[in-house]
Amino acid sequence: MMAGSSSSRGSLVHQPPGYFRDVFSILMQQRLEEQFCDAQVIVNGQQFQAHKAILAANSNFFNQYFTINKDSSRVELHDISVESFVSIIEFMYSGRLLLQESNVTDVLQTASLLQMHNIVTVCCNFVKEKLQANR
pLDDT digits (tens, 9 = 90+) for 15-43: 999 999 999 999 999 999 999 999 999 99
Other C-beta atoms closer than 10 Å to the C-beta of 40 total 15
CATH number of 14-133: 3.30.710.10
Do the Cβ atoms of 59 and 84 come closer than 8 Å? no
Q: At residue 62, what are phi and psi to the nearest 5 degrees?
A: -65, -35
Give the side-chain half-sphere CA count within 13 A for 77: 23
Strand partners, 16: none
CA distance 104 to 110: 10
Question: Measuring CA to CA, which residue among 128, 60, 49, 129 is closest to residue 89?
Answer: 49
pLDDT digits (tens, 9 = 90+) for 81-127: 999 999 999 999 999 999 999 999 999 999 999 999 999 999 999 99
Would you list the domain boundaries of the chain? 14-133
Confidence at 135, pLDDT banded by 50, 70, 90: confident
Quote the crossing angle between the two packed helices 19-32 and 82-94, to the nearest 10°: 140
